[in-house]
Structure 1
Amino acid sequence: MAIALPKMSVLLCFCVLVMVGLVSSARFDELFQPSWALDHFIYEGELLKLKLDNYSGSGFQSKSKYMFGKVTVQIKLVEGDSAGTVTAFYMSSDGPYHNEFDFEFLGNTTGEPYLVQTNVYVNGVGNREQRLNLWFDPTKDFHSYSILWNQHQVVFLVDETPIRVHTNMESKGVPFPKDQAMGVYSSIWNADDWATQGGRVKTDWSHAPFIASYKGFEIDGCECPVSVAAADNAKKCSSSNGEKRYWWDEPTLSELSLHQSHQLLWVKANHMVYDYCSDTARFPVTPVECQHHHH
């Protein structure tokens, strides 16, 4: 017997399909699990809220690890006075020589722009910070934050606009993250020793709890079983084995399109407030990857 769905839910299904398109989207609990402070998680249907108060922050992680692909989450950041707080969305492998791709959203006093700090760690070495302000208020609505990763580049995207590219420059002697499977993580915590104006502005706990809201969890990548050796995962997850063509290995994704290159130039010209590549106090000798980045 056919069950008649109420009109509203049919409409809702249709909207969701239109928005998501062909991306493999999933509910939070299909892809992720809480990693700490379970009592600071609030579930409201498809919405997940993480809470920070003066007892604890909170965080979650993917159930699997991945090698190459694209991860996306939609976040609405802490509203009002969020000074001292950091909301992070990142990918990371394990161990002292880990690789990591970071989005860190640095809270601020009411009315000042949120800063987004990105960083790339390769073989345990980071110090590649870039900071920018966004072209919208990230506390008023959900926006999508994505990391695209293949053997040629790591691209950080905000609403599909690239804000950073880390290119494979192994030919120039620069190590590139391509052989460690990575988990996907997010958390909110108190970092008032550095997060806002270099730590001058502290967290005002009278405004707690600070809440970051999440939805639209998407991971479209190559899943790596823990039991499989890293080298075998790397082989399995690239198209070079000739058996399978993965979408992230398509030639069009080996570098930014012309349109994306223009978008990135626009972001850098109008929104970037700090770039480690031009910080001569920290790096008297320009880091090698900065010398060769043509974006």
Structure 2
Amino acid sequence: MASSSASISLLISLLLGSFMVSTANLYQDLDITWGDGRAKILNNGDLLTLSLDKASGSGFQSKNEYLFGKIDMQLKLVPGNSAGTVTAYYLSSQGSTHDEIDFEFLGNLTGEPYILHTNVFSQGKGNREQQFYLWFDPTADFHTYSILWNPQRIIFSVDGTPIREFKNAESLGVAYPKNQAMRIYSSLWNADDWATQGGRVKTDWTQAPFTASYRNFNASNACVWSSGSSSCSSSSSSSSTSWLSEELDSTSQERLKWVQKNYMIYNYCADTPRFPQGFPPECALNTSS
């Protein structure tokens, strides 16, 4: 009986633990914003799906705004022939001088690799594209895509491996996103005028609906901005806000170099024809070499 009672107690404990975990779910963190039913939160808030058909795509945004953060989301991208589709996942403020930090996943023909497109806008100025192939099939399973945004740098990571670092170059006269709170946004939409091979490959609507999946959103290490104040107060413990001064250690720097050597397919800071008069000033800081 003692063993049976212990088993029942363990089961109750596990069930309560599961319940406690499930209460922190996507219903609490995200709002579906458009798509007329094409976006859905499922499995008691553990899963969100966006769908695209010929009539419309769909999207969501975070309930909170953030001013700096370390934010994770797991995505599983549109499988099969995803040519013409774009799955966008990004941070953005509003207005003509908005700030923005972008992950965009450009679909492709079956068997061809997705392109991961990244960009950083500050004060309305973007055109800071870097593009990558991935070292795995992003449609076969969920993978974690992360943005670390602090006053010194922005680091894009995939499954914990940094792929891009954008450093604060205000000393060189380059605006840096640090004063405008941003929400998380995501959308699945048709961009077959440019997304796949420069628009040469169009969306095959016989494959619709196209669906991307999301889970395990985590913004626990982020400063929520509300009513003009930040949740990261001066009294916050240094351990809980250590990410505010986080930088790449030597191991992470080597991993960044590995990605950029083997998987980067476009870097605006190496596009000489685009910048015949010289590269933008931030390029002097944002190099992995």
Comparing 252-261 and 178-187, the one that deviates more: 252-261
Change (3 A) 1:5 1:130: farther
Q: What letter corresponds to residue 255 of structure 1 in structure 2?
A: E
Change (3 A) 1:157 1:12: farther
Alignment of 1:159-178 (within 5 A): 159-178=159-178
Change (3 A) 1:282 1:6: same
- The question of whether the paired residues in 2 share the 8 Å contact of 1:69 and 1:248 is answered with no
Aligned residue in 2 for 1:76: 76
Q: What letter corresponds to residue 65 of structure 2 in structure 1?
A: K
- The question of whether the paired residues in 1 share the 8 Å contact of 2:93 and 2:181 is answered with yes
Offset at residue 217 of structure 1 (A): 1.0
Change (3 A) 1:178 1:249: farther
Aligned residue in 2 for 1:125: 125
- The question of whether the paired residues in 2 share the 8 Å contact of 1:130 and 1:276 is answered with yes
- The question of whether the paired residues in 1 share the 8 Å contact of 2:70 and 2:243 is answered with no
- The question of whether the paired residues in 1 share the 8 Å contact of 2:87 and 2:188 is answered with yes
Q: What letter corresponds to residue 158 of structure 1 in structure 2?
A: V
- The question of whether the paired residues in 1 share the 8 Å contact of 2:151 and 2:245 is answered with no
TM-score, length of structure 2 as denominator length:
0.88
Change (3 A) 1:133 1:9: farther
Offset at residue 70 of structure 1 (A): 1.2
Alignment of 1:99-178 (within 5 A): 99-178=99-178
- The question of whether the paired residues in 2 share the 8 Å contact of 1:32 and 1:61 is answered with yes
Q: What do you get for the CA RMSD once the two structures are aligned?
A: 2.7
Offset at residue 175 of structure 1 (A): 1.3
Aligned residue in 2 for 1:209: 209
Comparing 253-262 and 133-142, the one that deviates more: 253-262
Alignment of 1:36-55 (within 5 A): 36-45=34-43, 46-55=46-55
CA distance in structure 1 between the aligned counterparts of 2:145 and 2:30, rounded to whole angstroms:
16
Residue 282 of structure 2 is aligned with which of 281, 286, 289? 289
- The question of whether the paired residues in 2 share the 8 Å contact of 1:26 and 1:217 is answered with no
CA distance in structure 2 between the aligned counterparts of 1:88 and 1:12, rounded to whole angstroms:
35
CA distance in structure 2 between the aligned counterparts of 1:248 and 1:199, rounded to whole angstroms:
45
Aligned residue in 1 for 2:225: 224
- Structure 1 alignment gaps of length 5 or more: 18-24
Aligned residue in 2 for 1:280: 272
- The question of whether the paired residues in 2 share the 8 Å contact of 1:74 and 1:142 is answered with yes
- The question of whether the paired residues in 2 share the 8 Å contact of 1:150 and 1:248 is answered with no
Aligned residue in 2 for 1:26: 24
- The question of whether the paired residues in 1 share the 8 Å contact of 2:167 and 2:285 is answered with no
- The question of whether the paired residues in 2 share the 8 Å contact of 1:68 and 1:237 is answered with no
Change (3 A) 1:5 1:55: farther
Offset at residue 111 of structure 1 (A): 0.1
Aligned residue in 1 for 2:183: 183
* Residues 233-262 of structure 1 deviation map (CA, whole Å, 9 limit, x = unaligned): 4xx4666x4x33455753894421111100
Comparing 30-39 and 122-131, the one that deviates more: 30-39
CA distance in structure 1 between the aligned counterparts of 2:267 and 2:113, rounded to whole angstroms:
18
CA distance in structure 2 between the aligned counterparts of 1:251 and 1:203, rounded to whole angstroms:
40
Change (3 A) 1:97 1:55: same
Alignment of 1:192-203 (within 5 A): 192-203=192-203
- Structure 2 alignment gaps of length 5 or more: 1-5
Aligned residue in 2 for 1:269: 261
CA distance in structure 2 between the aligned counterparts of 1:129 and 1:73, rounded to whole angstroms:
21
Change (3 A) 1:248 1:194: farther
The answer to whether 1:35 aligns with 2:27 is no
Identity %: 51
The answer to whether 1:10 aligns with 2:14 is yes
Offset at residue 293 of structure 1 (A): 2.5
Change (3 A) 1:75 1:276: same
Q: What letter corresponds to residue 224 of structure 1 in structure 2?
A: W
Count of equivalent residues: 278
- The question of whether the paired residues in 1 share the 8 Å contact of 2:64 and 2:224 is answered with yes
CA distance in structure 2 between the aligned counterparts of 1:274 and 1:9, rounded to whole angstroms:
51
Q: What letter corresponds to residue 260 of structure 1 in structure 2?
A: S
CA distance in structure 2 between the aligned counterparts of 1:39 and 1:269, rounded to whole angstroms:
42
Change (3 A) 1:9 1:139: farther
- The question of whether the paired residues in 2 share the 8 Å contact of 1:148 and 1:156 is answered with yes
Aligned residue in 1 for 2:97: 97
